[in-house]
Amino acid sequence: MAEPFLIGEAMTGGYGGADILHDCTIAVEKGQIAVIVGPNGAGKSTGMKAIFGMLKLRLGSVRLNGEDITSLTPQARVAKGMGFVPQTNNIFPSMTVEENLEMGAFIRRDDIRGTMEQIYELFPILRDKRRQAAGELSGGQRQQVAVGRALMTQPSVLMLDEPTAGVSPIVMDELFDRIIEIARTGISILMVEQNARQALEIADKGYVLVQGANRYTDTGAALLADPDVRKSFLGG
């Protein structure tokens, strides 16, 4: 089996104290969607942060496109083509939508107008609101700004930490549609989700984490079909 595009392999570590992750492996293929689900406190977000370099790993490694990036800072990983959308505080509230996108492209020195245009195509509402302060937008629109900001670096992997937390079901469906669209352009998506069922429906690969370790790993459809998974994690 060929090496996945992005893989956090056998990750063990935590925020200084006791380990939160135990020999946990998460990977995503090029242009695919991988979803991490699991109960509260299972280490879902921690697993994603570990891949993004926001906590120190005691064991294991993170590789992007075959290159070992375990020791890089999050900023350096952004430069390597990883985009990250935090769960909360993921926009610059007092700045306009357009400035938010500009700040997303801060490390780029080339012309960013094309990328910005692509993002406006993807999220047309942002074009209408581009002169408005991002903090004044609705929850769903803010999430679009947040995703748009992360896409401004033209990443090869986009990591989303619970992108649908606190938005209405309709907005959630729309966001998932957009995420599929993004994946179709060849960007790999790694996502942590509370809404496990809906997320697994769009997932190529699903990871069910329990207490910081892999419990089930399979395609999204297979996990949805697995009676054990359904019973324990999807509410029947």
Partner 1 sequence: MEPLNALVSVSNFMLVPALAYGSQLALGALGITLIFSILRFAHFAHGDTMALGTAAVIGGTWFLQAQGVSIAPLPTALLAIPFGVLVLGLYLLAADRFVYRYYRKVKAKPMIFVMASLGVMFVTNGITRLFMGVGETRFEDGQRFVFTVREFRDWTGLAEGMALRSAQAITIVTALVVMVALFWFLNRTRAGKSMRAYSDNEDLALLSGINPERVVFITWVITAILLVLAGTLYGLDKGFRPFNYFQLLLPMFAAAILGGLGSPLGAIVGAYVVAFAEMGITFAWRRVFGYLMPEGLEPSSMMQLLPVDYKFAVTFAILVIVLLFRPTGIFKGKVL
- 37 or 152, CB closer to partner 1? 152
Q: Does 46 bind partner 1 (CB under 8 A)?
A: no
CA distances to 54, 160, 181, 198, 206 from 219, rounded to whole Å, are 27, 19, 19, 14, 6
Site for partner 1 in 175-194 (CB under 8 A): none
- 73 or 168, CB closer to partner 1? 73
Q: Does 136 bind partner 1 (CB under 8 A)?
A: no
Q: Does 49 bind partner 1 (CB under 8 A)?
A: no
- 44 or 149, CB closer to partner 1? 149
- 66 or 74, CB closer to partner 1? 74
Residue with tokens 């390597």: 80
Among 50, 62, 84, 116, binds partner 1 (CB under 8 A): 84
- 45 or 198, CB closer to partner 1? 45
Window contacting partner 1 (CB under 8 A); options: 90-98, 137-145, 181-189, 202-210 = 90-98
Q: Does 165 bind partner 1 (CB under 8 A)?
A: no
| Mask for 137-156, x = binds partner 1 (CB under 8 A) | ------------x---x---
Q: Does 56 bind partner 1 (CB under 8 A)?
A: no
How would you classify residue 178: left for phi > 0, otherwise alpha for psi between -120 and 50, otherwise beta?
alpha
| Mask for 57-76, x = binds partner 1 (CB under 8 A) | -----------------xx-
